[in-house]
């Protein structure tokens, strides 16, 4: 039990902490730099001009002695003092990668999307779980199409050497093509579908990109079925249907599930690319919108959400695979 906790709980937490610390160390931070035309005496005059200004200046003089002050220091100043001197400073970012938001900035900026995860304020201004739901619905449809097409093709490849010689070269040519390349073709194919052209093009892209792992793993599984199993089926004079359902599918199932898991991951990858190009509301569409708006905190937030959802999908598929193996 202790080893399980260490391997599956403690070590992942340590890994996450290391990544967060590395991210925070590389990221930039916001500071305020005194403009070249303003001196410390000018700041003193601005503060002293306030009610009880002399006392206030004595209280904040040490904090304002440097030409550059941290954002936390600025927010800790009395509001009246900061209002008086704010125009004397310019906001800049410093750090190894200045434009990269740090952990705290990303968290604070992303909170509204997490506090109201199902909110709908506009087509592209919604809670993060609502965006994720839109993507998952489309992925589930494309994934179903990928399996319905991929599994039969895989069986044909595994059972028929002639079919393999005819179509395997074509499969090897089409398999490496990126979702970003298939989507424009999908838009052309479904151009006459009107407003739904983008949806059909996305389904086309998801299904086409996601089916190859299922096709190839199913074919490998069929070829790996022991010849003894097939001989027993022939001795028992099983029909082709029973040979398929009683021998081939159960023996091929572990290979098929490996393909199913890989296909699901590729389908999730493809939907993000499809939404980014079509501007559909969803996890990918939200990421692309925030990139165009130059809101870097939300870009990182979107990437993290997409990654976490992909992990959850993979774990769910693992559980389903384990349950099927236990039944069989």
Q: How far is Cα 166 from Cα 160, in angstroms, rounded to an integer? A: 10
The average confidence (pLDDT) of the chain is 84
Q: How far is CA 243 from CA 66, 149, 151, 232, in A?
A: 82, 21, 16, 10
Q: Could you report the per-residue pLDDT of 273-311, keeping only the tens digit for each? A: 888 887 788 888 888 888 888 888 999 999 999 999 999
- Answer for the pair 56, 47: CB distance below 8 angstroms, yes or no: yes
Q: How far is Cα 89 from Cα 82, in angstroms, rounded to an integer? A: 10
pLDDT at 240 over 70: yes
Q: Provide the pLDDT for residue 206.
A: 92
- Answer for the pair 289, 124: CB distance below 8 angstroms, yes or no: yes
SS3 of 188, please?
A: helix
User: How long, in residues, is the chain?
Assistant: 328
Q: Could you report the per-residue pLDDT of 169-181, keeping only the tens digit for each? A: 888 998 888 888 8
More confident residue, 249 or 4: 249
- Answer for the pair 127, 117: CB distance below 8 angstroms, yes or no: yes
Tell me which H or E stretch contains 128: helix 128-159
> Nearest 5 degrees, angle CA 38-CA 41-CA 42?
45
Domain 120-327 coded CATH 1.10.3720.10: yes
Structural domain boundaries of the chain? 31-92, 120-327
SS3 of 267, please?
A: helix
The pair phi, psi for residue 62, each rounded to 5°, is -65, -35
Q: How far is Cα 124 from Cα 12, in angstroms, rounded to an integer? A: 34
SS3 of 328, please?
A: coil
Tell me the pLDDT band of 146, cut-offs 50, 70 and 90.
Answer: very high
Tell me the pLDDT band of 324, cut-offs 50, 70 and 90.
Answer: confident
Q: Provide the pLDDT for residue 124.
A: 74
Q: Provide the pLDDT for residue 328.
A: 59
176 alpha-carbon distance from chain centroid: 21
């Amino acid at each position: 039990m202790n080893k399980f906790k260490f391997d599956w709980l403690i070590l992942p937490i340590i890994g996450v902490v290391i990544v967060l610390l590395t991210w925070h160390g590389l990221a930039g931070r916001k500071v305020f730099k005194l403009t070249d035309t303003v001196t410390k005496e000018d700041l003193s005059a601005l503060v002293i001009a306030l009610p009880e200004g002399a006392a206030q200046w004595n209280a904040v003089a040490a904090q304002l002695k440097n030409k550059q002050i941290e954002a936390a220091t600025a927010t800790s100043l009395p509001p009246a003092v900061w209002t008086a001197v704010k125009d004397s400073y310019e906001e800049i970012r410093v750090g190894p990668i200045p434009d990269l938001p740090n952990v705290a900035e990303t968290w604070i900026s992303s909170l509204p999307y997490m506090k109201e995860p199902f909110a709908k304020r506009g087509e592209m201004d919604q809670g993060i779980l609502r965006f994720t739901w839109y993507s998952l619905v489309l992925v589930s449809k494309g994934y179903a199409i990928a399996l319905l097409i991929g599994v039969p093709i895989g069986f044909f490849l595994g059972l028929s050497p002639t079919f393999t010689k005819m179509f395997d070269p074509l499969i090897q040519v089409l398999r490496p093509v990126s979702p970003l390349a298939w989507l424009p073709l999908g838009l052309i194919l479904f151009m006459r579908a009107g407003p739904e052209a983008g949806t059909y093009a996305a389904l086309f892209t998801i299904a086409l990109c996601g089916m190859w792992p299922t096709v190839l793993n199913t074919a490998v599984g069929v070829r790996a079925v022991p010849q003894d199993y097939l001989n027993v089926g022939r001795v028992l004079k099983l029909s082709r249907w029973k040979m398929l359902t009683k021998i081939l599918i159960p023996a091929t199932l572990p290979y098929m599930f490996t393909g199913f898991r890989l296909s699901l991951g590729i389908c999730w990858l493809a939907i993000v690319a499809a939404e980014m190009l079509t501007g559909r509301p969803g996890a990918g569409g939200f990421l692309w919108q925030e990139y165009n708006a130059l809101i870097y905190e939300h870009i990182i937030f979107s990437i993290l959400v997409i990654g976490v959802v992909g992990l959850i999908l993979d774990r769910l598929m693992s559980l389903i695979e384990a349950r099927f193996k236990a039944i069989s």
